[in-house]
Structure 1
Amino acid sequence: MNLEVMLLLYAYDHHGKLCSLYQLSRQRIEQMRHEVTYFCPTCKEALQIRSGRHHIPHFAHFPDSQCERNSQGESDDHESGKWLLYKWLKYQGYNVEIEYFVKEINQRPDLFFTSGDKRQIAVEFQCSTIPPDIIEKRTNSYYKAGIFPLWIVGNRHFQRKGKNLLLHTSFHRSLLYYFHHSYCMYYLNVNAQSVIIVDHILGFTHSYCFGRPRSYSLDSITFPQLFAPSASPSTPYIYFWEKQLYKLRTFYQRSVGTEERQWRQFLYLKGKHFSLIPSVCFLPVPSQSTCSIKAYMWQTKFVLEHFMEVRIGNIIKLGRNKCLTVNRYQADPVQEYLQLLGQMGFVAHTSNGSWVKRKEITFPTHITQALEEDKKVMNVLRNILYTHNNVSL
């Protein structure tokens, strides 16, 4: 295993105290070599200290080690980040442990502690990209054990175009939280020793979302403040949403993904063209950030399959399109979509929770009509969003 990849920046001494080589002088590190024996936090095997001109000072297992860490490998950022978060929590008075073994679920979270309200917390600092199903499996295991999982993402996954447009892949979607009517994520910048909270996240395209990043140095924020409510952003996201709809209407993209090709074929078989979808088939619902399918694709299918086939005055049968956030909030894009359609007069909510069709949604017949309809719908949408403060757009 390449030592540039396998770095262990902390270990226990013979008193059970967690020690680190992080930011220590060369002289102090040389002294530590001869003072005591150090032990791995994971397997409790004895460790050696390695330092030199060509790699960061670190603890290392001996060649015959059977530690599971050797097969997994951990980056310098991951190790440094765990140590930063450990010191940050320790300074606030929490009795935090690194890689505590949770026996009942056979997992070792990066950090483990009990919060002020006696709730057990597992912190996972995720630097590498892993499949969403693994994240979901680990998250479910923590909840079954009565543990709240806090996933904090490495800074290399924090990528943005401009101020408020951020990378948002299936990996990001699987790490969303929902607090105070806002979707959010947490990042750690190891080099800057700061945490970045991105809140008011709204899905935009397949790979990007809108969001408001706020950066705090670790010495200026406490653990409870990660979950404190914040004011809505003033950035008019609806402007960018309108531009995306205009692009869909006027720019023909020949090379598209499998889902988009299937969507176009679906419309073709219905006798429709994708550039002439109704304006209300591209509305920004808050939980779009949890969806892997683009808004205009699933909304068009919903209108054609669940809305247009129903007569005015009849109940609309809903499809299933619910997603869970990490903190178990059940996002429901279809219900949010119907709420917007209701405010526009297309549906009405009954006392028993059903939705009744009130007026038709029609497809425009030419591009000029579609663009005129877009302006009207977007103006109505602005009034709804700003007047009722339903969505931070």
Structure 2
Amino acid sequence: MLQAKLNNGKLITLFEFSKQEIEVLRSDHVFFCPVCKGKVIIKSGSKIIPHFAHQNRKNCQTHEGGEGVYHEQGKIMLYQWLIKQGLDVALEQYISSIKQRCDIFLRVGKKKIALEYQCARIPINEIQKRTGSYLSVGIQPIWILGATNLKRTTKHSFKVDQFLLQFLHQFQDQSFPVLYFFDPHSKLFTIIGNVFQIGKRRMIGNFIIKKLDSMIFLDMFKTSVDSRELFLTEWRKAKYQYRMYQPKKLYGTELSWYNWLYYKGTHREFLPSIIYLPISSQYKMLTSLGDWQSRICLEFIDPIPIGAVFSLNSCHFQFRKSISTDSFPLVQPSADPIMEYLHLLAALGIIEQVSEHEFRKSKNLHHYSHIEDALKGDEELLKELLNIFETKYEHDS
């Protein structure tokens, strides 16, 4: 821990002192944990950030992190960054009602915020528990990941797994999820906004990278930038790869899907262009974009005549085993990928929403018989999508 108390209750933040001052403190004072009141000792040296450690940890309700120098450096830099902005900030604040200590606690107006700087990979259930506890007492948690967790693959894409998905933030006034990263070595803060999952282990988004000292806290929530490049590069590439993909061997759910397409008398290459569209809440689906979107189109929309109605509830029932039951407490409000897809089809004029849970077919789906026509159709649809998403991005900005 970076802070401890003296006998008189004064709080000491160790990194604020020089080496000589620390040695004086060590010889002249006894220090106590702010949480359990147990004795703590100073740990300092040439290769570690000065901090306090329990003489006996087993009775303390909080833990000391153990994430190392990288974590401590980042936490200190973020704390000092917020202090310079004149914000009401506390380091390593212990919240007794939920028995948790957050890295940084701050108040912005009437909002209470717990800022967690997470570098180590911890169990997903622990992330969910800590996040849920904050929310239960009216504190908004914001998780900033150590940059060592970011595996960038191209200008707009990065690798993702279930651990990383737990840190997707989506606030009430945002239409797209966002991720935060900070590297104390380079002092670079990375915001990945307007995030979409395009594969089981791959996401795309707009990267905003700034020196920490060149931004303010509120900049963390300004994630909308020009979406044109994102769609004209990464999504175009992803759609092309999806259309042209030829697996060498089929197994599992992919084999089942190919068999289902064969039963339907079609193939991936000839599917309507409205299949495999970008859905910001795809992370909630256990099946791939192309799989579940093709089933909605070919099971619910394609067979019925223009003017006929189908229900959202029937779609939910069909995919009841395909929607993850995992909690994503940082996503507000709760996302519904099926409803999001149906709304996108409505924006494209394929269907029309006639009530809260019902949609009417407006157009017949266009199937292809030649790959050249399919690729041309995909390109035309991309232009329509670009107009739709640019409107959404402008709304978020």
- TM-score bracket, normalised by the shorter chain, equals 0.7 to 0.9
Separation in 1, partners of 2:303, 2:61 = 57
- Asked if the contact 1:47/1:62 (under 8 Å) is kept, the reply is yes
1:359 and 2:353 correspond: no
Call closer, same or farther: CA 1:335–1:71 in 2, change over 3 Å: same
**Deviation, structure 1 residue 165:** 1.1
1:334 and 2:338 correspond: yes
1:33 to 26, 31, 36: 26
- Equivalent pairs, count: 382
1:199 and 2:199 correspond: no
Q: TM-score, normalised by structure 2?
A: 0.81
- Asked if the contact 1:276/1:364 (under 8 Å) is kept, the reply is yes
Deviates more, 1:261-270 or 1:182-191: 261-270
Which amino acid in 2 is paired with 1:166?
F
- Asked if the contact 1:201/1:289 (under 8 Å) is kept, the reply is no
Which amino acid in 1 is paired with 2:131?
T
1:215 and 2:209 correspond: yes
**Deviation, structure 1 residue 160:** 0.9
Q: Residues 366-392 of structure 1, C-alpha deviation per residue, up to 9 Å, x if partnerless?
A: xxx134223223323313423773455
Separation in 2, partners of 1:86, 1:257 = 50
2:141 to 139, 149, 156: 149
- Higher RCO structure, 1 or 2 (CA under 8 Å, sep 6+): 2
Does the residue aligned with 1:114 lie in a helix, a strand or coil? strand
Q: TM-score, normalised by structure 1?
A: 0.82
Call closer, same or farther: CA 1:199–1:166 in 2, change over 3 Å: same
Counterpart for residue 44 of structure 1? 37
- Asked if the contact 1:312/1:357 (under 8 Å) is kept, the reply is yes
Which amino acid in 1 is paired with 2:130?
R
Counterpart for residue 93 of structure 2? 100
Q: Residues 29-65 of structure 1, C-alpha deviation per residue, up to 9 Å, x if partnerless?
A: 3333223222334433222223345655433222575
Q: Residues 190-234 of structure 1, C-alpha deviation per residue, up to 9 Å, x if partnerless?
A: 223343222122222222222222233333333233224643344
Separation in 2, partners of 1:344, 1:102 = 48
CA RMSD across the alignment:
3.3
1:163 and 2:155 correspond: yes
> What is the 5 A alignment of 1:1-393?
8-22=1-15, 25-53=18-46, 55-62=48-55, 66-67=59-60, 73-116=66-109, 118-178=110-170, 179-228=173-222, 230-254=224-248, 258-268=252-262, 270-288=264-282, 291=285, 293-318=287-312, 319-320=315-316, 326-350=330-354, 354-361=358-365, 363-365=367-369, 369-386=370-387, 389-390=390-391
Separation in 2, partners of 1:32, 1:197 = 40
- Asked if the contact 2:150/2:158 (under 8 Å) is kept, the reply is yes
Separation in 2, partners of 1:134, 1:255 = 38
Percent identity among equivalent residues? 31
Gaps of 5+ in 2: 317-322
Separation in 1, partners of 2:141, 2:63 = 25
Call closer, same or farther: CA 1:219–1:19 in 2, change over 3 Å: farther
Call closer, same or farther: CA 1:32–1:165 in 2, change over 3 Å: same
